[in-house]
Amino acid sequence: MTQTKRRSTLRGAFCLTVALAFLLTGLAASGSVRGEALAAGEETDAEPEDMYVENEWNFVDGSMDISEGIPEDAAGRLGEIRDAGRLTVATEPYFAPQEFIDPALTGQEKYVGADMELAKRIAERMGVELEIVPLDFSDVLPMFAEGKYDLAISGLAYTPGRAGMVELSKGYHFSDSEVINGLVIREEDKERIRGTQDLADKNLVVQSNSLQEALMVQNITAYRQFLRVSSIQEVYDALSEGRADAATVDFENAGVYLSSHPDCGLYLVPGTGFQMEEQFEGDRIACKKDELQLMYFVNGVIDEVLAEGLYEKWFDEYSAYASRLGVE
């Protein structure tokens, strides 16, 4: 990985059991044969599109020159985007500061956040219009198996299972902290719950099919009940309403939520962070499997945004924006 920016949690493991299993064992999918040949400097008779390769973890970390927009000879989905004059981006708009809704705005303008700025930059560099498509998080990636949308930008995680199902970009947002996931509880329980050792008789809640779910399964083995819900807002609601006692959350998202809701009564438990291996760090963009040329263009935009320090600027600005709005 060439980025030295923030390493952040990646929301969500793919909604298949194999994805969670691969994540828990830390297995990585092997690199493509053509990628290995290229790395070894072997001569090939490959067609030009075969120059677009995945790395040993099966995410795409190569880039193309985007200065002239979509190349005239673009093939596959990238060529289709150019011909249609439109880029469709799927997201779950409930994960501030990356993506959320400003209720004072309407239409496409109401979808705001650092990821939405990144989506705008990609469409701008392509020279096409942008359409944001809001979805439930559990529907974001499955839609790409049938190629319904062009990109998914939704604070997504790398997992080997997911990398086998969709193409994933290089990382574009990395947290300052080595520990980026951990426990949140009700503030009134902070003397009774000081760590995972205090959860044997407690009810847990987590967003279903998320990276946090996988980390909770891996790190917490003794509990009373394990509740899975469909959104991060439901996680916070379950804690506030007493239906659960503890949750595993993304610390950055939780920090924005607590800042936006100072009276929510929730508390981040210090010293309970769960560490991840390097390949699982960083937010990534997804597209349909084998659309490597499209992902090379996306990576070119990511390179530009990181070189200009734009993503972290957007992230900080929208963190303050979300806190002012008190977003749900």
Residue 55, phi then psi, degrees to nearest 5: -95, -170
CA atoms of 210 and 196, how far apart (whole Å): 19
CA atoms of 185 and 317, how far apart (whole Å): 27
From first to last of the 328 residues of the chain, give the pLDDT tens digit. Answer: 333 333 333 334 333 333 343 333 333 333 333 333 333 444 444 444 467 998 888 899 999 999 999 999 999 999 999 999 999 999 999 889 999 999 999 999 999 999 999 999 999 999 999 999 998 877 887 887 778 999 999 988 787 778 888 999 999 998 766 557 789 999 999 999 999 999 999 999 998 877 788 788 888 989 999 999 888 889 999 999 999 999 998 888 888 888 888 899 999 998 887 876 777 778 999 999 999 999 999 999 999 999 999 999 999 999 999 988 877 5
Domains for the chain: give ranges and CATH numbers: 17-176+278-325 (3.40.190.10), 181-268 (3.40.190.10)
List pLDDT tens digits, range 224-257. Answer: 999 998 888 899 999 999 999 999 988 888 888 8
Beta bridge partners, 283, equal: 173
List pLDDT tens digits, range 93-122. Answer: 988 999 999 999 999 999 999 999 999 999
